[in-house]
Amino acid sequence: MEVTAVTEILDTTLALVFAWVGYKTTRILWKYTPYSYPNARIRAMEARLFNEQKFNELAESKTLNNFIINLEDSDYKDYLANISSYDAESIEKALDTALADIYGLMFKILPKRVNPFFKLLLQEWDVRNISSIVKAKISGEPAVNYVIELGTMVPKIKAMADAKSMEEILVILEGTEYEEIYQGLLLGEISVDEFETQLYRMHYLKLLEYASSRKDEEKIILEEFVKLKIDKLNILTILRAKAHNLKADVIKSFLIPGGTINKKTLETLLNVDDLSMALAELDSTKYGNIIKNVREEIEGDLSVLGREFDRYIRERLGELTRFYPLSVAVPLNFILQKETEIKKLKAIAKLIEDGIFPEKIKDIVGELT
C-alpha cells in the first residue's frame, strides 16, 4: 500500500472518531446540563418534606395556634406569618399560595424546553375552579366557598365567583379558551356534567399534545404521567357511572381519549352490568394491583380508588425518578409530593378546627398517603 493511502485511512478514521465523539458529547451535555441545577435544588427541598413524625406532632397540636407554631420551623413560616385570623380557611389560603409559589419556582428553574408543562399543570386548577364555580352558581350555592386560589388566572376566577349572573361570567371568560365551551352550556347545548367533562378533555388533550411534542426521556416521562392521569379519570368516570347505572353510550361521551387502556377493555368496561364486574374486568389491566387490596372498600366508596390511584401515580413517578435522576421526573415527583403534603396539612387544620381528637386525626391523615 502507498504511504499516502495509509495516511488517508488514518485521517478519515480520526475525523470519524472526532465527529462521533463531538456529536455524542454535545448530546449528553444538552440532555443533562439544564437539569443539573434544578435537580439539586429540588432534592434539597425534598429533604425538607415532612415525615410521619412531623405529621404526628402536627396532629397533636390541639389548637390552630399551636398548629401554626409547629409549622414555624418549616418553609411555610413566611406564608403563615401574615395571616390575620387563626382559622382553617385562612390557613388553607396561605398553603395554597405556598403551592402556587412552588409551581412558579419550577417554571423558573426548569429548562425552557419543558417548563411550559408546569404552566399547563397549573391550568388544571383553573379548570377545577371554573367547573366548581359554574356548578355552585347553578345549584345556587355561594361559589366563593369552592374557589381554590391557585392557577393562572386567579383575579378572573375571583371576579367570576363574585359575578351576579351567568352572563357576567361569559364576559369574563371572553377571549379565553374556555369561552366556547361555556357558551355551549349557556345556550343549553350541553349539560353541566358534559361541560365539566369537556373542560377536562380539552385540558388533558392539551397536556398530551405538549407531552408528545417533547423528545427522548422528557417525552417518555411526561406522556406516561399524562396518560396515567387520563386513565384515572376515565376509570373513575366509568365506575361512578356504573354505580349510577348509566347507559354505555352516555358514559362513552364522558371519556377522554389518549389513555393507555385499550379500546377493547374500555368497550367491555362500558358494557358490563355492575360495579363489581367492572372491577373484575380491570383486574386484567396494569391497574389490577391497585384494586386488589382495596376492592371491598371501593365498592362502598369510590373516592378510595381515587386515592389509591394517586398513590400509584406517585409511586410510578418515584420509580421514574430513580430511573432518570437528571430529568423532568424529579420536579414532577416533587410537585406531587408537595401537593399531598399540603393536602394533608389542610386536612389537619380543618380537623383541628372541628375539635377532632389527635388519634383520630392521625388515622384520617394517615389514610391520605
Residue number with CB closer to other proteins (234 or 327): 327
Altogether, the residues listed in the chain come to a count of: 369
Residue number with CB closer to other proteins (31 or 295): 31
User: At its nearest, how many Å lie between other proteins and the CB of residue 34?
Assistant: 9
Sign of CA dihedral 128, 130, 133, 137: negative
User: At its nearest, how many Å lie between other proteins and the CB of residue 26?
Assistant: 10
**Alpha-helix residue ranges (DSSP H) falling in 110-165:** 116-139, 154-162
Burial of 245 (0-12, 13-18, 19+ CB in 10 A): exposed
Distance CA 84, CA 86 (A): 7
Distance CA 142, CA 161 (A): 8
| Residue 6 binding other proteins, by CB under 8 A | no
- Grid cell, residue 254, equals 364522558
Contact 204, 258 (CB under 8 A): yes
User: At its nearest, how many Å lie between other proteins and the CB of residue 320?
Assistant: 14
- The radius of gyration computed from the CA coordinates of the chain, to the nearest angstrom, equals 25
CA-wise closest residue to 132 among 172, 173, 202, 192: 192
CA-wise closest residue to 206 among 316, 126, 313, 269: 126
| Residue 357 binding other proteins, by CB under 8 A | no
| Residue 106 binding other proteins, by CB under 8 A | no
Residue number with CB closer to other proteins (50 or 210): 50
Q: Which of 55, 61, 239, 279 binds other proteins (CB under 8 A)?
A: 61
| Residue 19 binding other proteins, by CB under 8 A | no
| Residue 250 binding other proteins, by CB under 8 A | no
| Residue 326 binding other proteins, by CB under 8 A | yes
| Residue 43 binding other proteins, by CB under 8 A | yes
Contact 335, 118 (CB under 8 A): yes
User: At its nearest, how many Å lie between other proteins and the CB of residue 111?
Assistant: 11
Stretch that binds other proteins, among 45-53, 116-124, 231-239, 336-344 (CB under 8 A): 45-53
Q: Which of 9, 69, 144, 280 binds other proteins (CB under 8 A)?
A: 69
Residue number with CB closer to other proteins (325 or 366): 325
The single-letter code of the amino acid at 269 is L
If phi > 0 it is left, if psi is from -120 to 50 it is alpha, else beta; for residue 186 that is alpha
Positions 119 through 178 that interact with other proteins (CB under 8 A): 155-156, 159, 163-164, 168-169, 171-175
| Residue 37 binding other proteins, by CB under 8 A | yes
| Residue 16 binding other proteins, by CB under 8 A | no
- Contacts to other proteins by CB under 8 A: 17, 21, 25, 28-29, 32-33, 36-48, 53, 57, 60-62, 66, 69-70, 72-73, 77, 109, 155-156, 159, 163-164, 168-169, 171-175, 325-326, 330
